[in-house]
Structure 1
């Protein structure tokens, strides 16, 4: 890994997933085809892109049963325990509707209503992601969403990964469809003969999925445009180089554009971590992916002081931040920009990815400067409630009318004045 000494702050050099105009036009054509031809278009694109001809887009009960034969009972129990932890954490985020009454009889409030239907895109490709099922479905269920739909690209055998099916079944998801790519996003947004449309789409995917989510936004809501995974480790001389190296590699193995960065005031630690990364990389099954990630987006930044290291972290605004210092708790107040914060050497990033209960769907590409990770709030909408009393309007209608006329909206002014005409 590259070691660079920095004097103050540093910007993470990463291009946003904007795609090319050619890719955008391809996505627009797919969306239009799905809107016009429904299931037929989905099946044709599945054959073209995934290499499999499907008779049915729906995952059958038999496929669910077969999935359980490929996942041992111990793993099923681990999935259940992880789900319990995630549910417990997200139950604490749930908001309730509320009302307040003022002395003049006015009632103001807020009504919290779960979305009617949401769609979850579970990526295929180089890995299977049952954890993504847990992280997206559970907060939706806690929020009270009644209809939850999962779409995911099938493999060459025309099935989905066993772990994904087991996780979905354990959570009671009934609608699971074998379709991926931009065509799956179009189906969720506009509907087909088999897949009814949803109100909001969640989940990461490749550039075509990201572009499709951008194009259907407005017809439906979307969670975010997810970029490659990121980790920043903030460490001092008390940290252990082998543990930091392992944590950096845990993100580098995601894909070739993942970013793994160490920020430290200790040059000794920096050199040791660089050596450990090289050593541990050799035995990784996904060595080529991790090596490319480290070459292009990995770095070790050495600062003069811990305070400068904290400033650099805030500039980077990482998806995942590990703080492995002598007193990590003392630094929490200084961290302004991070999707999730892991404190101490025993809070390795995969703890949050899989089991602790916090959500692993987090802002990337520096968007932790202004956005948050996935929560129950993403699955509800809020309506304001106004019951204005006669006394309150009597006291304030002239002020309301004056504000309306300031904006040149005479009918607004007359609407409140009409109540008090003699």
Structure 2
């Protein structure tokens, strides 16, 4: 793979450090209403209208007043939120919408209407359940990633190890350009979805890094306010690819994905779960670290975003009870089960898998980009905490290693 130099990343970062934010939109010009053709026309019409109304209101008038029937208010019906009734990634709708879930929903209440968020129109709390229902359905129906997409039905030139190297390098590029978390997750999805398609079978080893930088360029254009331009990616690859090659690959990716880049991401669901559970910033940051470790690993690339985020959040709460407060012995509460649709039993395989990846990341001295990212102050140094550094007994027990 060409041009994988951290020094070049540092130099390229000096070219363009895009800051999020933007100028305030210009105020719309207020248009004055068109003037009437005759200045007294409006007053005359008003007087004539008043006379007609007064005449119709006289007792001798033949017209009768129309009385509207009284409208009876319908009683409010409390039902399971749409997120709990959404079709799961595994199983069927009956597994997610049961009588027990309805009972639990009546017990936990509606976290969206009970909080002060309902007063903020920008948070659209009235529609949040419908939004996440749609996202859970979209992760099934949209361009999902196939399991073992690099090895079946036929083994490709690109190996899982090459994907690991590329993802490790892309994390460094993402960090140097100070991009949003959504940009990195969307980059992963574009690469994996493309490699899962028939077009991915023709990708050569020399083209794989080109696929990666083109995917990050696409993701940045979709998520960022000020995305890096093509020249930044040309420089960051040490001139290994030209701007024309990156643009051509960008078109190739878009055509294969049918120009659809709105796939749901784990960070979307992770923020939702933190909101439902009123998680502390420490637990939320730890869950972000675990989710990013899992998404970068080939073995978890096919997992649904909602399930991956649920497993990472559940594991973070169970590993950090002192930082979260009393969890009642389990990191998955009734409220989380209702508003996510996943039970603790369904999450057990995901929790075990993510815990194993965290232990392996602590022992891995080669691909350390994510660990270094979360060992800095910007990542709250969560990868250095005893509970998450790979040596903690609780983490190894969750991974089934003790």
Question: What is the TM-score when the length of structure 1 is the normalising length?
Answer: 0.24
- Give the structure with the higher percent strand: 1
Work out which structure has the larger RCO, using CA pairs closer than 8 Å and 6 or more positions apart in sequence: 1
Structure exhibiting the larger radius of gyration computed from Cα positions: 2
Question: What is the TM-score when the length of structure 2 is the normalising length?
Answer: 0.25
